[in-house]
Structure 1
Amino acid sequence: MNSFPLSRSGASDNGAVVYSGAAVTTTQRLMQPTSHQLTSAEKKAATALALVFSSRMLGLFMLLPVFAIYGSELAGFSPLWIGLAIGAYGFTQALLQIPMGWLSDKIGRHQVMLLGLGLFALGSVVAALADSVYMVTFGRVLQGAGAIAGAVLALAADLTREEQRPKVMAIIGMSIGLSFAAAMVLGPMIAARAGLSGVFWFTAVMAVLAMGLVLRTPKAINQAPQRETLAVPALLGKLLRSPQLLRLNLGILLLHFLLTALFIALPQQLLALDFASETHWQLYLPVLFASFVLMVPMIIVSVRRQQEVVFFRLALLLLLSAALLFWLGPAQLPLLATALLLFFTGFNYLEASLPALLSRQAPAGQKGTAMGLYSSAQFFGAFLGGLVGGLVASRFGLPAVFVLSALLATLWMCLTFGMTITAKAERLSIKLPHNGDEEAKALLQQLSNLPGVIEATLVLQEQRCYLKVEAGRFDYQQLQALQQQ
């Protein structure tokens, strides 16, 4: 093995260990004990960004349980346009998710977030003033154009230490789940009192308040390693051809297809059972709460017993069972409630598991690109669910939407054969000095051979090495031993 001459010369002010041959800057993590708690600044950043993200997602989700009911007074209303209006935001989200992340690198995170929230507020106003389903759909397209997920997550990475970054990302991720639950309750309540336009006015106000939060969020002094936060154009084609990543991307596409398609038909089925629209939240709230209670043990047991593929398929079986119950028991409220519980238990498990699996599967230095493709697939699934679900409902009736859902859940189950789960991994980025390409490549070889290193990627243009290491097996003190080789 080619050696790379290193000699320890001390620790820098920020805790990174500095060698004469390379500066290993993993933000205090590598060579000395660090605090396992978020700093006050990190807590404030996580809270602010979670509120920004969740307020926007709340506005996108609130239309799901109400449009099929309250949109009936709009000109041009039909099952097809129900689906298009519900899923239209996914089209522009899918198209602009990655480009808006790139733009945040050029003009700044805050500027892109303000631009995106401004577009979201504008789309909300357009939809609130609309008297036809076509203008509501156009408003939803504008809402989706405010694709700020990449910028929010990149700013979260910029404002946090590497070892605390997963906690902050988890806080933001949990806020999305909470916003969905809140949308299922607030949507019917607001629509019952202020109509469909009231829902959109509420989302416009939320967007303006979120802009105020952005202005109060600190700006980053340093940028996090870009390949772990944002997509790299040159890597898109390579990751699209990865069979394991492709399974996960198709999975999140199908999951949000099923979610959007469900709310084309379900609200009208509830109305057919004389379940007043203003009380629909009384069904959604306990069902969502119960589904979270059931989902948590599934995640814990699947990880502890290392049976993640088994529980993944179990969640798909819940989705399939739910679709069949929606189809077979539309005239019985207990069956619909049971189907809804099964659906959201499976949905919540998969929604929580898929990003974690994707993070583990993504190659070193390519997580940002993998997550960008994943997010685009997620939103494109919402668009397709609205479009195809609306077409099926208009041509064959609402029950056909559930038949389609059952077929897609079965297809997804088939796609899990050949699915593999890699060991739990952590990611490190090591900034190298400009000491020449050959020395950097020699260091890469040494790092690759350390026990517990799954992958190592050298990016000469950035003078940075990205490591993917086994959680619990990689010993950070091993890096110190490089100086003795």
Structure 2
Amino acid sequence: MSTHQTMNTAGSRPERLSLTQQERKASILLALLFACRMLGLFLLTPVFAVAAHSLPGGNDAARVGLALGAYGLTQAVLQIPLGMASDRFGRRPIIVIGMALFVVGGVISALAQNIDWVTVGRCIQGLGAVSAAISAWVADSTRPEVRTRAMAMVGGSIGLSFAVSLVLSPVLVGQFGLSGLFWAISLLGFVCLLIAAFVVPSAPKAPASIVQVTAGQVLRHLDLLRLNFGVFCLHFILMSLFIVVPGILATLGGYSTQDLWKVYLPVILVSFVLMVPAVFWTETRKRHKHALELAVLLLIVVLAVMPWARDSLVPMVAALTFFFIGFNVLEALQPSLVSRVAPPEYKGLALGFYNTSQSLGVFAGGLIGGVLAGRGLTQWVLWTGAALAVLWLLTARGFKDKY
């Protein structure tokens, strides 16, 4: 009996495929590009409300909020058109154009003389909405059997970007001011533009399908809709959670804004380590639906107990660690499922809808979480996230376990 046959006999341990050198190189480089995009969103979050006071108009909370949220709103508008464009014209040219817009917007923000010009720069940064094209490029560059692992690199870049932003933002603003922060973001974007243009290996173009799929058909695809709703919920929960978590940690542990990274960084690193076995198990056992349901259930439990855990530092940090285990698994699993479910020649379009849902979740979570927290309803921020996760779990149960 051959080795291959032995590995596939009943009761034997499934063979775990490895990323090829080409797949690993493409995944790492594309994860770096994605990390740059997310840094553009996250770097301002910990410090902007205070740093904006140095600009005329920076004391107006509404204008500061508009400047901060403009990036996500324009991202949501452009994800679908640029995803479709990447299907037609290729991933590389669309990403290069998007990164160029990212750099231009960063420079405008760095040179801004008032808060309104920062808003203009942030809008232009968001117009380069290439998250869908990057995700589609990852899907093009990997086999279905290892795609979840590749998407884990991209998904993990979100958590790492968040952690890095919490460490770097106070340092950059303290040393170089708000303008220096924008120059750093622009420099990072330029480096990633060069990587996209010259370093990331090309992927084979998806074969044309005899049956043409329209945007309407993609929108009517129930499993894609379930995944879009899932990523909306996930990022709604993330943004609303981190409206209240910094205040909770500051109260329990006496952490200032500059010191919060001392909690976030180890929490995120530990959660990454614990996430890896879950991703490998999902791949080797092909239990994507089961992993999806378990991860959402973990979020429900964590969010439900957080109102009581917030009275003590250690339980709160433990709850935060378990939250990020579930978050990181879902961040890796869901884009992989989108790439499996979507028609090959329309992966960019499907991922455009997916990333639009993600951006809308960021905006809605920040808005609703901010309103609740502003009224002193911290526990309702957490319970609202838990309730939304319950609804997500109910919709996920209808997902077909065939991918």
Residues 47 and 81 of structure 1, relative CA distance in 2, 3 Å threshold: same
Q: Does the CA contact (< 8 Å) of 2:76 and 2:359 recur in 1?
A: yes
Equivalent residue letter for 1:255: L
Q: For residues 69 and 242 of structure 1, do their structure 2 counterparts lie closer, same or farther at Cα, with a shift above 3 Å needed?
A: same
Q: Identify the range of structure 1 (134-143 vs 290-299) with the bigger mean alpha-carbon deviation.
A: 134-143
Alpha carbons of 1:245 and 1:108: their partners in 2 closer, same or farther (altered >3 Å)?
closer
**Aligned residue number for residue 278 of structure 1:** 258
After TM superposition, give the deviation of residue 164 of structure 1 in Å. Answer: 5.6
Shift of 1:207: 0.8
1:124, CA displacement in angstroms?
A: 2.6
Question: Given the alignment, which residue of 159, 171, 188 partners 1:206?
Answer: 188
- Structure 2 counterpart of 1:181, from 160, 165, 170: 160
Would you say 1:268 and 2:252 are equivalent positions?
A: no
Match of 2:207 among 225, 231, 236: 225
Who is 1:469 aligned against? Answer: none
Equivalent residues, number? 379
Q: Is the 8 A contact 1:63 1:187 kept in 2?
A: no
Contact 1:256 / 1:378 at 8 angstroms: preserved in 2?
Answer: yes
SS of the residue corresponding to residue 147 of structure 1 reads: coil
Q: Which residue of 2 aligns with 1:334?
A: 314
Shift of 1:119: 1.9
Residue 377 of structure 1: CA displacement?
1.6
Percent identical: 37
Larger helix share, 1 or 2: 2
Which TM-score applies when normalising by structure 1? 0.66
Unaligned segments of structure 2, at least 5 residues: 1-17
The question of whether the paired residues in 2 share the 8 Å contact of 1:262 and 1:401 is answered with yes
TM-score for both structures, normalised by structure 2: 0.78
Supply the RMSD in Å over aligned alpha carbons.
3.7
Q: Is the 8 A contact 1:81 1:390 kept in 2?
A: no
The AA in structure 1 aligned to 2:257 is S
CA deviation map 1:92-124 (0-9, x unaligned): 222212212344566665543333112212333
Please name the residue that 2:350 is paired with. Answer: 370
Deviation at 1:403, TM superposition (A): 2.7
**Counterpart among 121, 125, 139 of residue 103 in structure 2:** 121
- Residue 379 of structure 1 is aligned with which of 333, 339, 359? 359
Q: CA deviation at 1:66?
A: 4.3
Q: In 2, Cα distance between the equivalents of 1:247 and 1:122?
A: 35
Q: Quote the residue 1:246 is aligned against.
A: 225
Pair 1:318-2:298 in alignment = yes
- Of 41, 44, 48, the residue aligned with 1:63 is 44
Considering fraction of residues, name the structure with more strand. 1
- Per-residue deviation at 1:155? 5.9
The aligned amino acid for 1:97 is Q
Is the Cα contact below 8 Å between 2:138 and 2:150 reproduced in 1? no
Which has the larger Rg? 1
- Runs of at least 5 residues in structure 1 that lack an aligned partner in the other structure: 1-35, 425-485
Cα pair 2:46 2:257 within 8 Å, conserved: no
Q: Matches of 1:67 and 1:390 in 2, distance apart? A: 15
Q: CA deviation at 1:234?
A: 5.2
Please state whether the residue corresponding to 1:275 is helix, strand or coil: coil
Cα pair distance change 1:391/1:341, threshold 3 Å: same
Take 2:64 and 2:306, find their aligned partners in 1: how far apart are those partners?
22
In structure 1, how many angstroms separate the alpha carbons of the residues matched to 2:89 and 2:347?
22
CA distance, structure 2, for counterparts of residue 419 and residue 168 of structure 1: 19
* SS of match in other structure, 1:418: coil
Amino acid aligned to 1:414: L
Asked if 2 retains the 8 angstrom alpha-carbon contact of 1:87 and 1:384, the reply is: no
Amino acid at match of 1:206: L
The Cα of 1:264 is off from its aligned counterpart by: 2.0
Q: 1:241 to 1:223 in 2, by over 3 A?
A: closer
Q: Measure, in 2, the Cα distance between the counterparts of 1:289 and 1:119.
A: 32
Q: Is the counterpart of residue 194 in structure 1 residue 170 in structure 2?
A: no
